[in-house]
Structure 1
Amino acid sequence: MAKARRRVRDTWREKSWYTIKTPVEFGEKEIGSTPARDPEFLPGRTVDVTMRELTGDFSKQYIKLHFEIDNVAGTVANTKFTGHKITTDRIRSMIRRGTSRIDAPVIVTTKDDREIKVHVLAVTSRRAKSSQQKFMRETIENLVAESASEKSFKEFIDVLTSGKLASEIYHNAKKIYPLNRVEIIKSKVFN
């Protein structure tokens, strides 16, 4: 007596594809697509995109932007910016023997009350004393907090990811101690 074969449900056929778009701050560009059986399952999914993929600028290949799907309208999944990170190989290439690495993580609030954690990395041209490092860290934290308090969330994200804030910090902090480079290596949006 032959057993009747049970039909296996093909769940892939039940899924629809949704286009993922960046938030308004990044020009609502298409950054991918994702399948889902129901649009309710999409919010909360994360997408990582390099800055080069968004802008076409190959020199920004090392910047990874993090987006999270916020809402779905038809077949379009809209995202919100949740932070960014710089690749570890880029960070390693910045630090050399005989230099000092100064990490300055700081939580700032923008003009429109959005909280962001910003992690700034400054690399000196030669080894700095701990007192100089402490003063440099305090200066960097003050510069970032001041910049955030003057700008809206959209404006602050723009200067954060474009490198303008890092350049501003570099030009103000190099007066304290000679610097090789300043980079914002990480950011995270809280609310």
Structure 2
Amino acid sequence: MAKARRRRVRDTWKEKQWYTIMTPKDFGDQEIGTTPAREPEQLMKRRVESSLRELTGDFSKQYIKLFFEINEVAGDTATTSFVGHQVTTDYVRSMIRRGTSRIDSIVNVTSQDGVKLKVHVLAITIKRAKSSQQKFIRETMEKMVQNAAKDKKFQELIEDILGGKMASHIYHESKKIYPLKRVETIKTRVIVEK
């Protein structure tokens, strides 16, 4: 019986070129990694993840993950746009204790310059709150996120969210309803860019 000849597989790895991935100008035009690709077009829409600590050097921001998407390639440099952030699940779990209430609020907002975002805010009470109190806190959180988005441009809004300024405002307003342990903006996602 004749043996079938094996076709020689072409090694495409050698044909690939390395591209440097940069953050948007608003995030300081920093290098966040490198990636290989045969054609620059293959890089488009590729997602890249980085922690806020890597960009700022602030170790206390280790738990915040930022997501970028490649939108332009020039030479061997790929530029990105910000598409969202997320807080690590272990950090969220560490905040929640038995006998407390977890209040989630997911709001779709549009910034002053027309960028649509989905913002997920989490509040944790000191003790278990009544459902009416939880509902009132959730409504307060939603209203405050919408007002902040209406008054700010996309970049200012993201800076407030990542810096914790928005969570701090929500905390001070919502603790009047029921004592809170913590408020955190745990996730954002850009739905439609301008």
What TM-score comes out, normalization by structure 1 length? 0.95
Q: The residue matched to 2:134 in structure 1 has which SS? A: helix
For residues 4-43 of structure 1, what are the structure 2 equivalents within 5 Å? Answer: 8-43=9-44
Deviation at residue 4 of structure 1 after TM alignment: 9.2
Q: Does 2:154 match 1:153?
A: yes
Q: CA deviation at 1:161?
A: 1.1
Work out the CA distance in 2 between the residues paired with 1:59 and 1:40: 37
Task: Could you tell me which runs of 5 or more consecutive residues in structure 2 were left unpaired when the two chains were aligned.
Answer: none
Q: What is the Cα deviation at residue 140 of structure 1? A: 0.3
Report what 2:141 is aligned to: 140
Q: Give SS of 2:146's match.
A: helix
SS at match of 1:91: helix
- Whichever residue aligns with residue 27 of structure 2, its letter is F
Q: What is the rounded CA distance, in whole Å, between the counterparts of 2:6 and 2:49 in structure 1?
A: 42
Number of residue pairs aligned between Structure 1 and Structure 2: 189
Secondary structure class of the residue paired with 1:92: helix
Give, in angstroms, the shift of residue 138 of structure 1. 0.3
The C-alpha deviation readout for 1:128-162, integer Å capped at 9, x for no partner, is 00000000000000001001111001111111111
Distance change in 2, residues 1:7/1:107 (3 Å): same
Letter in 1 for 2:169: E
Which residue of the partner structure matches residue 112 of structure 1?
113
Q: Give the drift of 1:6.
A: 6.1
SS at match of 1:188: strand
Off by >2 Å, runs of 4+ in structure 1: 3-10
Question: What is the distance in 1 between the residues matched to 2:5 and 2:48?
Answer: 43
Letter in 2 for 1:10: D
Structure 1: runs of 5+ lacking an equivalent: none
Distance 1:6 1:137 in 2: 62
Give the letter aligned to residue 149 of structure 1: K
TM-score (structure 2 length as normaliser): 0.94
User: Could you say what secondary structure the match of 1:190 adopts?
Assistant: strand
Partner of 2:47: 46
The corresponding residue for 1:64 is 65
Distance in 2 of aligned mates of 1:185 and 1:84: 8
Q: Is the 8 A contact 1:85 1:186 kept in 2?
A: yes
1:4-56 deviation per Cα after TM superposition (whole angstroms, max 9, x unaligned) = 98654321111111000111221111000000100011011101111111111
Q: Output the CA distance in 2 between the equivalents of 1:82 and 1:60.
A: 18
| Partner secondary structure for residue 126 of structure 1 | coil
